[in-house]
Structure 1
Amino acid sequence: MTTVAPAEERVDTGEVHEAEYAVTPETVALRSVQGALAKPPVVKAARAMSQFGEHAAGWLAIGAIGAAVDRRRRGEWVAATAGVAFAHGASIGIKRVVRRPRPKDPNVQLLVGTPSQLSFPSSHATSTTAAAVLYGGLTGKKLTPVLVPPMMLSRVVLGVHYPSDVLAGSALGGVVAWGVRRFMRRRRNRG
């Protein structure tokens, strides 16, 4: 029979033990993705993507460039960029309500810094999906399959999100982009 010392007698070593949290299917998936993909070249690329997507800064910069270069559709680029900013802000608002902590599994490495300890939904996945849909509509390119899956996977490889975080973030970005595109069509049709 194992006895456990009362809480006031235990020494905090700073280590996280598996018995202190539930190992869920998402934790197992996160471990598997990191085990298979967290190799130096992949981690380097994932970190670069993380930096580009931090606070949606890279996507907002691309939107600003689009507005500056495509004068004929400047208003649409501004609306699309505002949509990306709104999507990012919405994800932060939801994070503050849900308050899901980032993964703390001892078998998952944290491979990049984060501005908060909140995980759900992934703001990177949200803003990337919104940007891919909105900017893809303006450029006539199918950007979503090229941009979204790598960003989603990068967040899991870096150990900062569970799979459901990136899926929810992408869904949120898609919904916001759909609303912005609908607004832009109505505005264009009014002339």
Structure 2
Amino acid sequence: MLSLRGAETSLLVALQRRTRQPGVIAAATQLGHFGDHAAGWVAIGAAGWLLDKGRRPEWTRALVSVLGAHAATVVLKRVVRRLRPGTNGSPADAAVQVRSTSPSRLSFPSSHAASTTAAALAYGRLLRLPLAPVVVPAQGVSRVLLGLHFPTDVLVGALTGVITDRLVAAKGGAR
């Protein structure tokens, strides 16, 4: 019987084999850099806070959502301690191409997916733009394509972003 890790590794390797174009990998790498430590999302939120003085409380809540989602995943990673793809030495893991670097060997849940989802929801509300259907899948797929996360890491990361955004929005009365 195939384990969850084995099934996810097979899916990851299949995606990597079908997606070898340098432009796609470069774009995935850039998405990763943007999402590192939620820095790109924090920069956008800070710019919104500075430039949109009339809605500073809303921008503050949006930033809290992004930072809260990121922080939640950092804590969860240390509790769960799931290792990233390509790190357990199995023959299946040996087929994973790790195409980028990360600050930790821990993968579950994806901090990039969490902060991206929280940002897409919170900033999307503020800007009245449907950001989530575009940026969340792109960031999630990029994490798997780069060999840094399993699909469930990304899914639970995105769910963490949704939950964090909803909790922060509920506290502030946002819809």
* Distance (Å, rounded) in 2 between the aligned partners of 1:73 and 1:61: 16
Listed one character per residue, the Cα deviations across residues 133-185 of structure 1 (whole Å, up to 9, x for unaligned) are 00001111111001100000000000010000000000000010111111121
Structure 2 counterpart of 1:168, from 143, 147, 156: 156
Equivalent residue of 2:159, what SS? Answer: helix
Which amino acid letter does the alignment assign opposite residue 152 of structure 1?
Answer: G
Asked if 1:54 is matched to 2:42, the reply is no
Structure 1 counterpart of 2:18, from 28, 31, 36: 36
Q: TM-score, normalised by structure 2?
A: 0.92
Asked if 1:183 is matched to 2:171, the reply is yes
Matched with 2:62 is: 80
Which amino acid letter does the alignment assign opposite residue 183 of structure 1?
Answer: K
Structure 1: 4+ residue segments shifted above 3 A? none
* Distance (Å, rounded) in 1 between the aligned partners of 2:79 and 2:70: 15
Which amino acid letter does the alignment assign opposite residue 8 of structure 2?
Answer: E
Contact 1:84 1:130 in 2 (8 A): yes
Listed one character per residue, the Cα deviations across residues 22-68 of structure 1 (whole Å, up to 9, x for unaligned) are 96111110011111113211110000000000000000000000011
* Distance (Å, rounded) in 2 between the aligned partners of 1:145 and 1:107: 30
Matched with 2:142 is: 154
Aligned residues: 167
* Distance (Å, rounded) in 1 between the aligned partners of 2:94 and 2:141: 20
* Distance (Å, rounded) in 2 between the aligned partners of 1:69 and 1:184: 20
Seen in structure 2, the aligned counterparts of structure 1 residues 22 and 69 have a Cα distance that, compared at 3 Å, is closer
Asked if 1:103 is matched to 2:85, the reply is yes
* Distance (Å, rounded) in 2 between the aligned partners of 1:33 and 1:94: 26
Listed one character per residue, the Cα deviations across residues 68-110 of structure 1 (whole Å, up to 9, x for unaligned) are 1111101110111011001100000000000000011111111
Seen in structure 2, the aligned counterparts of structure 1 residues 91 and 23 have a Cα distance that, compared at 3 Å, is closer
Equivalent residue of 1:24, what SS? Answer: helix
Matched with 1:65 is: 47
Unaligned runs of 5+ residues in structure 1 are 1-20
Listed one character per residue, the Cα deviations across residues 107-137 of structure 1 (whole Å, up to 9, x for unaligned) are 1111001000000000000000000000001
Unaligned runs of 5+ residues in structure 2 are 87-92
Contact 1:103 1:162 in 2 (8 A): yes
Asked if 1:26 is matched to 2:11, the reply is no
